[in-house]
């Protein structure tokens, strides 16, 4: 499965948690190239309107510049290029930041990736965010909490094993029942059951 590492522009103080698997395709979205520079990583592609950083001057990476008046966020541009390059598994850093609107846009981008039958997660120092369709999964413990929310649907049922609160629950979009369930094993089991059509679950793992 071809992996894509995307560095978006949200601030990251300590980059020690970043993992870049071998042979990954690396894309920087706008000022995200500064994270790659700090890690001494040469990206394959840099895209954006460069409103948060000057356009990088490099001969070792392809740079594609866009007009500021556009429909896609810089992260969405990076994701679309990653899909075009045949990537199937996306690790996205610098997409959970101080701007709540940008964070929500990043979460929405997860749904776009899932619509293309691909995998993705948003990762920062303290949490990991992913989105899952109906199916059975093992969720690794980051040493803290698991929060589940229906996304793009009014309700979805889940069955949980290996957490403080186990059982089958109906999650609805108007009540945050699935927040802060503590994972007590190295992994927990999550079964996303039928809900609305196109039911999916937003999964947030948070360090304690």
pLDDT value for 197: 64
Record the tokens describing residue 181, joined without a space.
């369930």
Residue 58 has pLDDT above 80, yes or no: no
* pTM metric for this prediction: 0.93
Nearest to 74 by CA among 88, 84, 64, 83: 64
Record the tokens describing residue 85, joined without a space.
């390059």
Taking residues 69-82, what's their average pLDDT? 93
At 9, the pLDDT band (50, 70, 90 cuts) reads very high
Place of tokens 């490099």: 58
Domains of the chain: 3-125 (3.40.50.10240), 132-207 (3.40.50.10240)
Q: Per-residue pLDDT tens for 133-148?
A: 999 999 999 989 999 9
Taking residues 138-161, what's their average pLDDT? 94
pLDDT value for 50: 83
Average pLDDT, the chain: 92
Q: Measured between alpha carbons, how far apart are the two ends of the chain, in Å? A: 31
Record the tokens describing residue 130, joined without a space.
């992913």
């Amino acid at each position: 499965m071809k992996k894509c590492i995307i560095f978006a522009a949200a601030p990251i103080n300590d980059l020690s948690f970043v993992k870049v698997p071998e042979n990954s395709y690396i894309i920087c979205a706008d000022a995200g190239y500064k994270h790659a520079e700090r890690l001494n990583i040469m990206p394959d592609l840099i895209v954006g309107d460069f409103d948060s950083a000057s356009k990088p001057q490099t001969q070792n990476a392809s740079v594609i510049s866009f007009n500021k008046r556009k429909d896609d966020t810089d992260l969405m541009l990076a994701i679309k290029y990653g899909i075009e390059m045949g990537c199937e598994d996306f690790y996205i850093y610098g997409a959970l930041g101080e701007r709540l609107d940008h964070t929500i846009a990043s979460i929405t981008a997860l749904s776009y990736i899932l619509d293309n039958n691909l995998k993705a997660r948003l990762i920062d120092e303290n949490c990991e965010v992913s989105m899952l369709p109906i199916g059975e999964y093992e969720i690794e413990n980051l040493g803290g909490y698991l929060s589940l929310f229906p996304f793009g649907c009014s309700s979805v049922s889940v069955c949980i094993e290996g957490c403080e609160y186990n059982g089958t629950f109906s999650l609805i979009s108007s009540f945050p029942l699935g927040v802060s369930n503590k994972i007590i094993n190295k992994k927990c089991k999550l079964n996303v059951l039928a809900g609305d059509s196109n039911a999916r679950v937003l999964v947030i793992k948070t360090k304690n």
